Structure formats: C-alpha cells, structure tokens
Amino acid sequence: MTFHAGWLRRCLVSATLVVAVAAPAFAQTAPDGAKVADFSLANGMEVVVIPDHRAPIVTHMVWYKAGSADEPPGKSGIAHFFEHLMFKATTNHPAGEFDRAVAAIGGNDNAFTSYDYTAFHETVAPQALEEMMGFEADRMRNLVLTDETVATERDVIMEERRARIDNEPDALLDEAVDATLWLNQPYRIPVIGWMQEIEKLNRADARAFYDRYYAPNNAVLVVAGDVAPDAVKAMAERTYGLIPRGQDLPPRVRPVEPEQHTRRTVTLADDRVGVPSFSTRWVVPSYRTARPGEAEALDLLAEILGGGIRSRLYQELVVHKGIASSAGAVFRGRTLDDTSFAVYAAPLGKAGLADVEAAVDTEVARIGRDGVTDAELQAAKDRFVRSMIFARDRQESMANIYGSTLATGGTVRDVQEWPDRIRKVTAGEIKAAAARYLVQASSVTGYLLPQQQTEN
C-alpha cells in the first residue's frame, strides 16, 4: 500500500497523460488492435475494458473518486487510512484471505491513495479475474470495522508517517512547500495527513468515509489484459452488479485558489542533507480546469524545458556548463483541480546552489520571452510518441491512464482525442503558457540545505 509522499515522488508515480501521444488509433484501441470498451452497470459503476491478448495475464483496478482532498476538515489522512482498512476482514472473508488468495495463484495486489482518488489493483491470470472481482465487490460494502482493528492500523499509519516523512528531510520540505504554494486548496494538506490529526482518527471517522464514498456509483472498474469485453461485463454484473447503488454524491466542488501575487521561499537545513537542492513551483491549470489547448501546451513545455536528458535544463546545466547533477521540470496535469508546475536542480562539484538556480531561472525566462523552436516542439512530440508506445506495452500503464482520467472528471473520449490535441499545439502556445504562468512574482521556491548552510 502506498501514498504519494514527497513532491517529486508524487510526480513520478501519479498516473497522468504525459505518457501518451501517438496516432489516434493508439488511444482508441488496445495494444492488439481490439477496441477499448466503456459501459456502465445498472448500479452506476463505470467499466472500461482494454483487451490485450499478447500474454495470459490481466490487470484489475477499482478506482474510487475519493482522495485526501475530499477529506472533512480536521480529518487529514482518513483517505489513506481507509485504504489500509480495506485489507481487513469482511463479513465473508477473514483478514488476510484476499492477499493469500492472490499469492496462491502467483499474482500480486496493492493499492495507492492520491489527492483525488484511491485505487486498488491486482494482476493475475485471466481465470482468476472473477474471483478478484468477487473479493473487491465484497470489501466495497462488507468491511468489519472494530475499534481494535482501527486502533492497530492507526499505529501502523503513524509509524509509516514517521518513516516516510518525519525521517526524510526532502519529504518534510515538500510538505512545507505544498502548504505554502496552496493558499486555500486542500492540496496543501499531505495525503498521509498531519500527525496530530492521524492520531485522533477513529472507527466513526472510518465508517463515515466508507459509507459516503465506497459505492459502485462512485467507482470506476478498469480491466486490461487477456479478456473480452463481453466476458468482463458478464463477470462484473455477477459480482459488482449485485451491490446496491449508493447515495448520489454532490459535485466535487472544493475551495477555489485565489490569485497569487507574492514570491515565497521555504528553507529547511538538516544535518542529514549532503547535497543542497531547490525546486520552484507555480500554480497552473490542470487538464480539467485549463482552457482548450492550455494543458497540452504545459505538458510540452515541461518536456522541452526539463523532461529528460534532451531537455533545455539538462543540456544547459548538466551537459554544457557542468554545474548541476540533476535538473528537470514536471507538470502534474491529471488532477481534479488546478495543479502545479515545477522546475528543480541540484549543484555539482564546486558550483553553488545560487549559480544553479540562476541558470534555471534564465532558461525559464528565455522560453517565456523567446519561445521554442519548431524543431524542439516536434522533437518533444516525437518523444511523447515513443512514451505512448512504451505505455501501451504495459497493462498497468494503460489501466492507470484510463483510471486516473475517469477518476478526475475526464472521459474515455478525452483519452482517445488527446493525441490529436497534443499534435495541434503550436510553439506560440507554449511561449504564451510560459509567459502567463511561470512568473517568479507568484512562485514558491524550496531550499533543502546541509545544516551548516543558510538560504542564498
């Protein structure tokens, strides 16, 4: 079971559409050419089937449209906490039976929580798919939540926070930067929660979260692998279809982020830090909140600026100047609300952090002022094409692309039309996005320093 802890780790493991661009057929069809199926059960559960008959395995995922940003005030961490509780006993199965059943057939299972969703997944042989559906359908409504079970798992969560956050300087800084970047939006609260609130979570909190969000009409089933859509539909109706529809939830309307007018810095000096580093972040639109074409431009901007070894930041700072050991940019486009765009770097050798930061700032400003070349833009699109090919080669990647899109307000059609929208992005649109959003006067910069150093 995992949650998205530090900012960079979140960016790397979150399922976003930055991995996909190719001919429309790539998105509309499964890897072997079969058409992606999308339908709903009578109780409101949406089902997506991505056939892939190249190997006798199947990935089964259930995405709940509830994450840490949906938590009640003062109950931070309950979404991730409840992810853990879903592995406990139900009225039909004792604790651990689900995991043992998966292990017995050589499969694997896990789960993860993010700001906007919680997902549970298994990878097994096709013959075991209906059994997995039965287990998942059972725990969707039949968990047995006792005070003892909740208290024991709460101790586990608190220890997880100590290990992954409190003992990791970069994770502590990430929390502080997020809390500074977001003035009003719940993304400012860590997914795992604040310790003082985790330790007060109880069975009533867990039951309330369960009853509100864990229902078929608030879930998306994604099945990718050696299966046929008709067979999946029949199995889903025999398992998930037996669960009554839950209450109709109101639209997921959250506090609106105000316009920002200040440049802020956050500094953490710690004797466990060996090499200093920094990141600068901005609030930008996501695919759900952006104007037409804007999120696609931000995606390509991140790729050109710092998407890999061919990016401007890497080539200028690491290859040509030799002043940085790492440098890059990340756009987290697949969120329900506005999201973040970030650049980051760490110095190399005798170079100072101030020198590296100045070089990064120069490259960011240059794109906003001068734009990008047509050759750079085409190369970025070509790299996205290759990424899509690699994504299509992995069932989990395809399941994540569709699942994360549908769990954050998108549709199957959004996934299918995305390659064409990327292909239409112009160099002028990328320049406009950089000039509009990557403004130092409304940024947050986090510095991670060795104990003896101070902020530049």
DSSP 119-174: EEEEEE-GGGHHHHHHHHHHHHH-B---HHHHHHHHHHHHHHHIIIIIT-HHHHHH
Q: Residue written as tokens 């559960």?
A: 45
Residues 228 and 272 in one domain: no
How far is Cα 330 from Cα 302, in angstroms, rounded to an integer? 6
Query: Is residue 25 a part of any domain in this protein?
Result: yes
Q: Which residues contact 261 (CB under 8 A, 6 or more apart)?
A: 441, 442
Quick: pLDDT tens for 1-60: 433 333 333 332 332 222 222 333 344 555 555 689 999 999 999 999 999 999 999 999
Average pLDDT over residues 322-342: 97
Query: Is residue 398 a part of any domain in this protein?
Result: yes
CA 237 vs. chain centroid, Å, equals 29
Residues 184 and 150 in one domain: yes
Query: Is residue 456 a part of any domain in this protein?
Result: no
Residues 130 and 275 in one domain: no
Quick: pLDDT tens for 133-157: 999 999 999 999 999 999 999 999 9
Q: By percentage, how much of the chain surpasses pLDDT 70?
A: 91
Can 83 be counted among the known catalytic residues? yes
Residues 290 and 208 in one domain: no
pLDDT given for residue 393 in this prediction? 75
Residues 237 and 270 in one domain: no
Reading the block at residue 447, the tokens are 């510095």
Residues 28 and 65 in one domain: yes
How far is Cα 70 from Cα 187, in angstroms, rounded to an integer? 10
Residues 151 and 218 in one domain: yes
Query: Is residue 455 a part of any domain in this protein?
Result: no
pLDDT given for residue 33 in this prediction? 54
Q: Which residues pair with 238 in a beta bridge?
A: none
* The last residue of a domain, from among 242, 272, 296: 242
How many other C-beta atoms are found inside a 10 Å radius of the C-beta of residue 278? Answer: 24
Residues 155 and 276 in one domain: no
Residues 268 and 238 in one domain: no
Among 443, 433, 435, which Cα is nearest to 261's?
Answer: 443
State the greatest distance between any 2 C-alpha atoms of the chain, in Å, as a whole number. Answer: 65
* The last residue of a domain, from among 242, 276, 306: 242
Residues 220 and 104 in one domain: yes
Q: Which residues contact 61 (CB under 8 A, 6 or more apart)?
A: 119, 120, 121, 221, 222, 223, 224, 399, 400, 403
Residues 227 and 315 in one domain: no
Q: Is the dihedral of CA 181, 186, 192, 193 positive or negative?
A: positive
Reading the block at residue 417, the tokens are 């039309």
Query: Is residue 259 a part of any domain in this protein?
Result: no
How far is Cα 307 from Cα 148, in angstroms, rounded to an integer? 47
Query: Is residue 257 a part of any domain in this protein?
Result: no
Tell if the pTM clears 0.85, that is, is over it: yes
Q: Residue written as tokens 């960011």?
A: 364
pLDDT given for residue 452 in this prediction? 78
Residues 220 and 327 in one domain: no
pLDDT given for residue 388 in this prediction? 66
Q: Helix, strand, coil % (nearest 5) of the chain?
A: 45, 20, 35
Q: Residue written as tokens 């972040």?
A: 281
Reading the block at residue 157, the tokens are 């969560």
Residue among 71, 83, 122, 429 flagged as catalytic = 83
Query: Is residue 249 a part of any domain in this protein?
Result: no
- Domain hosting residue 349, numbered range: 264-450
Among 2, 122, 114, which Cα is nearest to 66's?
Answer: 114
**Residue 401: helix, strand or coil by DSSP?**
helix
Query: Is residue 324 a part of any domain in this protein?
Result: yes
Confidence of residue 416 (pLDDT cuts 50, 70, 90): confident
Higher pLDDT, 32 or 240: 240
How far is Cα 437 from Cα 366, in angstroms, rounded to an integer? 14
- Structurally, the chain folds into a number of domains equal to 2
Reading the block at residue 28, the tokens are 């509309």
What is the CATH number for 170?
A: 3.30.830.10
